[in-house]
Amino acid sequence: MGAAVAELEVLVRTAVFKSANALVGWLLQQTIERVEAAYQFKAGEVYKGRAKLDMQCIFGRFEL
């Protein structure tokens, strides 16, 4: 019985962290897009386009 409970705990943690990671990544990406849309370029500044950024947090890794 103890081994089954330990296995279940691992599965639940994996599911929760995976969902939380997806949510954190989505929230950060939405924030980045709002900041980009609101940014006013100063004279002489040139937009170079987007670059991918790999992030790591307590829930795992994700790409912005």
* pLDDT values of the chain reduced to their tens digit, one per residue, 64 residues: 778 888 888 888 888 877 787 888 888 889 989 998 898 889 998 888 888 888 887 767 878 8
The reported pLDDT for the residue numbered 34 is 94
Q: Identify the domain containing residue 17 by its residue range.
A: 2-63
CA distance 61 to 58: 8
Q: How far is CA 13 from the centre of its chain?
A: 17
The reported pLDDT for the residue numbered 14 is 80
The reported pLDDT for the residue numbered 24 is 83
**Phi, then psi, of 51 in degrees rounded to 5:** -130, 145
* Total number of domains constituting the chain: 1
The reported pLDDT for the residue numbered 7 is 87
The reported pLDDT for the residue numbered 38 is 92
